[in-house]
Amino acid sequence: MFLESHIFRLLITLTLCVLSFVSFTNATPVLVEKAMTSGNTKWTSSFDLDVKPNEVLVSIDISLLPSKGVSGLKLKDKLVLWKEAINQKWNDQFIVSIKGKTKPIRFKVRFTHHNPHHRVVVHPDNWGPNQHNWYLSMPAYVAAHELGHMLGAYDEYKGGALSPASKIVDYSSIMGGNPVKGKAAIRHLVVLEKVLMEEIGTDKVNISNAL
Ligand SMILES: [Zn+2]
């Protein structure tokens, strides 16, 4: 009985090991959530991370709630433009080497009310967008900037929610003051990188710019 229970326990342990390995490397995505703080500004970085055989897929589900004065039709037009801007700024930019195998990092945004990572109120006009408030009148690339916050990036313009550690200000960055010209950078993916390193090994993960 003693020996049997030990074997049984060993089997369970082995099964759990295999399961936890499978859960990260195969189909099941991992939910990433990290509380972000810069001065008085607080937000949550949240997305699903899925290490697939040929890509690392980052899925961000955003629920857009139209406020008074935002018609469904106008919002529908904007969704297309916002998605395009996000794709243009974030996709085909980064690759990650995992245990020596290089895969692209792909960002997939869905506008859905089902179990969203983020909730955003859409306003008709005025100015002052942030992760939780978007405007029909804002340039589409601002959506790509706000997506950066959702991924865990800080602002990189004076007066913004700067990184408390590095306080980087960079106007050539998507997180700087000019989202139209600004580019996404590897340092914006630090939350994602940290989770990969924790799960796979610090020395086995390396994110770089796609050529
Ligand atoms: Zn910002």
Q: Which domains does the chain have, with CATH numbers?
A: 27-209 (3.40.390)
CA 63 to chain centre: 15
What is the reported pLDDT for 48? 98
Answer for the pair 155, 169: CB distance below 8 angstroms, yes or no. no
DSSP string over 83-103? HHHHHHHHTTSEEEEETTEEE
Task: Report in angstroms the alpha-carbon separations of 57 from 40, 53, 123, 167.
Answer: 32, 10, 30, 29
CA distance 174 to 165: 19
CA distance 176 to 165: 17
What's the 35 CA to ligand 1 centre distance in angstroms?
Answer: 15
What is the reported pLDDT for 24? 56
What's the 176 CA to ligand 1 centre distance in angstroms?
Answer: 8
What's the 24 CA to ligand 1 centre distance in angstroms?
Answer: 30
What's the 174 CA to ligand 1 centre distance in angstroms?
Answer: 9
What is the reported pLDDT for 177? 87
CA distance 205 to 166: 22
Backbone angles phi, psi at 56, to 5 degrees: -105, 120
What is the reported pLDDT for 62? 97
What is the reported pLDDT for 5? 58
What's the 77 CA to ligand 1 centre distance in angstroms?
Answer: 23
CA 21 to chain centre: 22
What is the reported pLDDT for 9? 57
What's the 179 CA to ligand 1 centre distance in angstroms?
Answer: 10
Spatial CB neighbours of 107, under 8 Å, sequence gap ≥ 6: 58, 60, 86, 87, 90, 91, 147, 151
Neighbours of ion ligand 1 (CB under 5 A): 155
What's the 2 CA to ligand 1 centre distance in angstroms?
Answer: 60
pTM for the model stands at 0.86
What's the 160 CA to ligand 1 centre distance in angstroms?
Answer: 6
Structure tokens given for 22: 């499978």
pLDDT averaged per 10 residues, the chain (length 211): 54 49 62 96 97 96 94 92 97 96 97 97 86 93 97 97 97 94 97 96 96 81
What is the reported pLDDT for 31? 97
What's the 51 CA to ligand 1 centre distance in angstroms?
Answer: 28
What's the 33 CA to ligand 1 centre distance in angstroms?
Answer: 18
